[in-house]
């Protein structure tokens, strides 16, 4: 009988000894409660506990990556869109994470999805298509204010995919085509204006220098001669015709 009691006491002592210390990995923190009251957070490595009296809750402090579910919402200018995003967050205050919110992972995800709908509702479609950086920044600020109260830090949040209605896609394509056509017409008009200016300058030079006109005629004949033309009609210079008329008059 005494041997059995001694063996039982030895077994109980062994169990209490095993429960008197704990081990945390490098990426873990242990939040210790003593009789239900928060005591402190234990770092990596082994630590002592008071058996039966102390209880420890471990918190992973590594960065967590989550893909948010696709959210259907309406932009500020009344366009229905479907948006999803990627969220990176981590626990920075293990004691607050354990004591301030139940299931902190789920709470962060719910806050992110709600914040994403709010951020999209405050943005126009053009802004979402052209300037996602500002929307991501606004969403990050909104989430950080909420999650820091829970001891969670938001590292980054990025909008990944944006789906818009098919009719709106066609309208955007037409708008882009119109912008490109406008740009092409402006470039063509500018080119014609520059060419006409150059021709006007050349005409002024030829008008002030009679010999330049004859040189231009000769250049034109040489260019025509390169082509395989069967018939070439060349105009005589005006000066030669005037000289011939004077000689005939004498």
For residues 120 and 175, state if they share a domain. Answer: no
Shared domain check, 179 and 118: no
If asked whether residues 51 and 107 sit together in one domain, one would say: no
Cα gap 116→84, rounded to integer Å = 8
Residue 89 sits in the same domain as residue 43: no
- Identify whether 198 is part of a domain: yes
Q: How many domains does the chain have?
A: 3
- Tell me the per-residue pLDDT of 101-160, one tens digit each, with 9 for 90 and over: 888 999 999 999 988 888 888 888 877 878 888 888 888 998 998 899 999 999 999 988
Q: Compare 167 and 69 and report the one with higher pLDDT.
A: 69
CA distance 23 to 4: 32
Residue ending a domain, choose from 17, 44, 59: 59
Q: Do residues 68 and 160 both lie within one domain? A: yes
Residue 8 lies in a domain: yes
The whole-angstrom separation of Cα 217 and Cα 215 is 5
Mean per-residue pLDDT for 13-20? Answer: 63
Strand 21-24 relative to strand 28-34: parallel, antiparallel, unpaired? unpaired
Q: Across 16-25, 72-81, 138-147, 168-177, which has the greatest mean pLDDT?
A: 138-147
CA-wise closest residue to 41 among 26, 25, 28:
28
Q: Alpha-carbon distance 171 to 151, whole Å?
A: 45
**Would you state the pLDDT for residue 215?**
63
Alpha-carbon span 104 to 69, nearest angstrom: 17
69 and 160 co-located in one domain:
yes
Kindly state whether residue 71 falls inside one of the protein's structural domains. yes
User: Among candidates 106, 84, 88, which has minimal Cα distance to 97?
Assistant: 106
8 A C-beta contact, residue 73 and residue 115: no
210 falls within a domain: yes
| Tens-digit pLDDT profile for residues 202-228 | 767 666 666 565 666 666 666 666 666
Which of these, 153, 130, 128, lies nearest to 140 by C-alpha position? 153
Q: What's the token pair of residue 73?
A: 């919402």
Pair (91, 160) in one structural domain: yes
In a domain, residue 138? The reply is: yes
pLDDT range class, residue 97, cuts 50, 70, 90: very high
Same domain, 188 and 157: no
CA-based nearest residue to 119, from 106, 105, 104, 132: 132
Cβ–Cβ < 8 Å for 5, 11 = no
Q: Which helix (H) or strand (E) holds 107?
A: helix 104-121
- Which of 164, 182, 207 is the last residue in one of the domains? 164
**Is 60 exceeded by the pLDDT of residue 248?**
no
**pTM higher than 0.85:** no
Higher pLDDT, 76 or 11: 76
Identify whether 250 is part of a domain. no
Task: Look at residue 248 and tell me if it is in a domain.
Answer: no
Same structural domain, 37 and 74: no
Q: How confident is the model at residue 183 (pLDDT cuts 50, 70, 90)?
A: confident
Among residues 104, 70, 103, the alpha carbon closest in space to that of 86 is found at 70
Among 139, 164, 189, the domain boundary falls at 164
Beta bridge partners of 159: 85
Over residues 38-57, the mean pLDDT reads 83
The boundaries of the domain holding residue 193 are 170-225+234-243
């Amino acid at each position: 009988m005494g041997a059995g009691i001694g063996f039982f006491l030895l077994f109980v002592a062994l169990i209490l000894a095993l429960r008197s210390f704990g081990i945390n990995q490098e990426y873990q923190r242990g939040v210790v409660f003593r009789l239900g009251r928060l005591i402190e957070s234990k770092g990596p490595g082994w630590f002592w506990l008071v058996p039966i009296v102390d209880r420890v809750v471990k918190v992973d402090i590594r960065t967590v990556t989550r893909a948010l579910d696709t959210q259907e919402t309406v932009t500020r200018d009344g366009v229905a869109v479907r948006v999803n995003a990627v969220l990176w967050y981590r626990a920075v205050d293990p004691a607050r994470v354990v004591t301030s919110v139940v299931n902190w992972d789920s709470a962060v995800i719910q806050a992110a999805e709600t914040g994403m709908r709010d951020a999209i509702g405050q943005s126009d479609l053009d802004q979402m298509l052209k300037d996602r950086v500002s929307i991501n920044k606004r969403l990050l600020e909104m989430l950080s204010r909420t999650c820091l109260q829970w001891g969670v830090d938001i590292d980054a949040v990025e909008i990944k995919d944006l789906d818009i209605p098919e009719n709106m896609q066609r309208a955007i394509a037409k708008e882009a085509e119109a912008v490109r056509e406008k740009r092409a017409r402006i470039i063509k008009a500018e080119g014609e204006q520059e060419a006409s200016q150059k021709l006007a300058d050349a005409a002024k030079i030829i008008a002030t220098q009679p010999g330049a006109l004859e040189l231009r005629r000769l250049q034109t004949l040489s260019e025509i001669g390169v082509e395989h033309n069967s018939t070439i009609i060349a105009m005589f210079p005006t000066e030669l015709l005037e000289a011939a008329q004077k000689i005939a008059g004498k």
